[in-house]
Amino acid sequence: MNASGELKDKVILVTGATRGIGEAIVHVLAREGAHVVASSIEAQRATELAATLPGGEKRHLGLELDVTDEAQRARAFDLIQGRFGRLDGLVNNAGANFSKPFTETTLGQWRRLFDINLDSVFDLSRRAIDLFLAQAPQGGSIVNVSSVHTLATLPGAAPYAATKGAMNMLTKGLATEFSSRNIRVNAVAPGLVKTEVWKSIVDDFGGDEEACLCYWRKNIPAGDIIAPEAIAEVVSFALSDRARAMSGSILYVDGGMTSQLIATR
């Protein structure tokens, strides 16, 4: 296969790659010519996903990665170096949603959420940056998948919002420290996306998806729930050379949700 596209032959690691936004990102990056490392806690599904991409297992790699497991994080980078010899991009997409009354939230749940949503991003980014600095030509790009909860949030979501708010500031801090060394760090902040989380939102409407859609379409200026592929296209752009002047940016991809002053009931 002759790779073509905005990300031709770039090696990009995607976490949480087998579901929702992560799976969409994998498909778009492969379409744009990247060698995709599709990592997930679902090892078999990750391997199967890599095999279905253009060029199959000759161009791509599926691997098991529980982002909270330090040994698995180290192994993932060893495998990438052994297979491809370099890394050009990292998409920190793996994460956990959380909604629970604050006074019922335990310290253990708080720490577990930070372990998944933030501590893993710190360590994976550190490892990626070490590679970016050591390789020739030097450089690379990181995209963190953040959330609209960094601008406004909902009752019961304070811990989740805290993890994503910290992710945004980590993004900006790394951008200021490493942009001069050809390493760009940006974040994409999705709004309401039709993933597995959407199912739990529908459950809040008694399982009536039409009623749920009707409500949210009134509360999103663009008038609809976002498809995972729309988020993936923005991630692909942020990784590409077209975004070469962009670092430390937080891209809100939310159909105008966070721009609306008052929700429509």
The pLDDT, as a whole number, for residue 207 is 87
Q: Describe the chain by its helix, strand, coil percentages, rounded to 5.
A: 50, 15, 35
* Residue 197 pLDDT class (50, 70, 90 cuts): confident
Could you tell me which of 11, 6, 27 has the C-alpha nearest to residue 231?
Answer: 27
160 catalytically annotated: yes
What tokens were used for 70?
């330090």
DSSP string covering 42-94, please?
A: -HHHHHHHHHHSTTHHHH-EEEE--TT-HHHHHHHHHHHHHHHS---EEEE--
Could you tell me which of 34, 27, 47, 46 has the C-alpha nearest to residue 6?
Answer: 34
Neighbours of 262 (CB within 10 A): 6
Question: 160, 178, 198, 216: which is the annotated catalytic residue?
Answer: 160
Q: What is the DSSP letter of 180?
A: G
The pLDDT, as a whole number, for residue 76 is 98
Evaluate if residue 1 carries a pLDDT over 60: no
Evaluate if residue 170 carries a pLDDT over 90: yes
* Residue 155 pLDDT class (50, 70, 90 cuts): very high
User: 38 — phi, psi (to 5°)?
Assistant: -90, 105
* Residue 200 pLDDT class (50, 70, 90 cuts): confident
Mean per-residue pLDDT for 170-199?
95
Q: Residue ranges of the alpha helices (H) in 115-195?
A: 120-134, 158-178
Chain segment 243-261, per-residue pLDDT in tens: 999 999 999 999 999 998 8
Mean per-residue pLDDT for 60-68?
98
Q: Is 145 in a helix, a strand, or coil?
A: strand
Mean per-residue pLDDT for 55-70?
97
One-letter amino acid for residue 176 of the chain:
T
Evaluate if residue 205 carries a pLDDT over 90: no
Determine which of 52-56, 187-191, 222-226 has the lowest per-residue pLDDT on average. Answer: 222-226
The pLDDT, as a whole number, for residue 3 is 62
C-alpha 48/C-alpha 38 separation (Å) is: 10
C-alpha 213/C-alpha 17 separation (Å) is: 26
Chain segment 9-44, per-residue pLDDT in tens: 999 999 999 999 999 999 999 999 999 999 999 999
* Residue 198 pLDDT class (50, 70, 90 cuts): confident
* Four-residue CA torsion sign, 99, 103, 109, 113: positive
> pTM for the full model?
0.94
The pLDDT, as a whole number, for residue 265 is 65
Evaluate if residue 263 carries a pLDDT over 80: no
